[in-house]
Amino acid sequence: MDHSSQPDAIFQGRRYFPISQYFRKRFGERVAKISVSIAETCPNRSPNSSMEACVFCDDWGSAAYHLEKDRELIDQIRHNKKLVSRRLKCKQFLVYFQSYTNTLDKIKILQQRFETALSEEYVSGLVVGTRPDCLPERIFPLLNDMCQKSYVLVEIGAQSFFNDQLEFLKRGHSAEKNIEAVLKLHQKTDVDIGVHLIFGMPDETPERLIETARIINQLPVSNVKLHNLHVLTNTTLAEMYHRNEFVPDELDVYADKVILFLRHLSPDVAVQRLAAIANRWDELIAPKWTGKKMGPLDFIESRMKEAGYLQGDLYDAEQLPEMATPSLIF
């Protein structure tokens, strides 16, 4: 499948399918996320848990606006909307429950949070970040109820579809659980589904990157978000880095991995971002390029353009392999 000569007809001049275009098609105009930090923990950090924290996770649990955790939800939404509006001209926004795990609290509490977010007239939907092992049966009716009122995207932190990599990350869940969670969420709700993936781990081969794309292609997933494994202070990964047990990818190495993945990814799967962004630069240890917001994206896309590559130019819908775990298909 060679689209290299006609990128404008496919991704409007881009080399991949950005989430901005996906949202524009869905809402008819530009839509932006407003990140909020409400959830206070995750299974790995629960006081009653015997699990260790993920090696990459700091005390803030991936919060974009970590200093605002003590603000009321409605205040966070209004304040962060102002911040986003300085950069982007949008009339519609999605409230992104980002930090930690946002499906753990009691249903009544979650419902109050979601309804509070939707009470703002400029909010057109919800984005709920969670883990594949934190989708209990009781959450599905609530998510479906929210779907009747607005758009809902659930982002699942799968991170990898290989168990040895998940063990390295100390995720506390299996690759099989990742697939099960996506399929179950699709079967029991009408939410849109996104998957987070981490690249840059040990034993990461081209074959695994291609297989990851093929797994995504088989799942009812509308979008993916890519993260490069980077080192923050006060994390297990920082200890490993200082003991020379982990070396993060340089940008050119990481770019080649992302490009290989994208070329095998279906052109119908939107991409939220190509690399992680270290919001707290003072906590970033390595690699330093993670602190440059647009640099990695521009580097990857220019590399694709120079080579004539596009997302999906090696994708073949007629040759999808059998699902590795067919027993998980409901």
Instruction: Label each residue of the chain as H, E or C.
Output: CCCCCCHHHHHCCCCCCEHHHHHHHHHCCCEEEEEECCCCCCHHHCCCCCCCCCCCCCCCCCCCCHHHCCCCHHHHHHHHHHHHHHHCCCCEEEEEECCCCCCCCCHHHHHHHHHHHHCCCCEEEEEEEECCCCCCCCHHHHHHHHHHHCEEEEEEEEECCCHHHHHHHCCCCCHHHHHHHHHHHHHHCCCEEEEEEEECCCCCCHHHHHHHHHHHHHCCCCEEEEEECCEECCCHHHHHHHCCCCCCCCHHHHHHHHHHHHHHCCCCCEECCCCCCCCCHHHEEECHHHHCCCHHHHHHHHHHHHHCCCCCCCCCHHHCCCCCCHHHCC
**So what's the architecture of 7-316 in CATH?**
Alpha-Beta Barrel (3.20)
| pLDDT tens, per residue, the chain with 330 residues | 444 445 555 798 899 999 999 999 999 999 999 999 886 655 655 556 556 778 887 765 554 555 566 789 999 999 999 999 999 999 999 999 987 778 888 999 999 999 999 999 999 999 999 999 999 999 999 999 999 999 999 999 999 999 999 999 998 899 999 999 999 999 999 999 999 999 999 889 999 999 999 999 999 999 999 999 999 999 999 999 999 999 999 999 999 999 999 999 999 999 999 998 876 678 899 999 998 878 999 999 999 999 999 999 999 865 555 544 433 333
Model pLDDT, residue 48: 62
Model pLDDT, residue 305: 96
Model pLDDT, residue 291: 85
* Global confidence as pTM: 0.90
Model pLDDT, residue 317: 66
Model pLDDT, residue 37: 87
